[in-house]
Amino acid sequence: RTKPDSAMFEAALEKAGVPADRALMIGDRYDHDVRGAAEAGLHGVAFGAEDGPAVAYRIESPPEILEIVDGEREG
């Protein structure tokens, strides 16, 4: 299976032992990265990508990931 098939994301989560609601998928393509991840229950992070309904966060530079992770830990 390959992106954007949600089964690919689910298999990765299972292997890592991480629940979907505690995971982020950072991608630069909405259709191949963010949408499939969101369908599997992950938080979709658009990195300079087009917006879509499954985008939980949008970033323009990698350091912005730290702000998201810190916010998730606090929330």
* Total of domains in the chain: 1
| Model pLDDT for residues 11-66, shown as the tens digit of each residue | 999 999 999 999 999 999 888 888 888 889 999 899 986 778 888 999 999 999 99
Closest alpha carbon to 25 in 50, 61, 54? 54
Q: Which domain holds residue 52?
A: 6-74
Residue 2 gets which letter from DSSP?
Answer: -
Residue 1 within any structural domain of the chain:
no
Residue 50 within any structural domain of the chain:
yes
Contacts of 42 by beta carbon, 8 Å cutoff, 6+ apart: 9, 13, 20, 21, 23, 24, 25
Residue 48 within any structural domain of the chain:
yes
pLDDT value at position 54? 82
pLDDT value at position 4? 78
pLDDT value at position 72? 72
The domain that contains 19 carries what CATH number? 3.40.50.1000
pLDDT at 75 > cutoff 70:
no
Using 50, 70 and 90 to split pLDDT, how confident is the model at 71?
confident
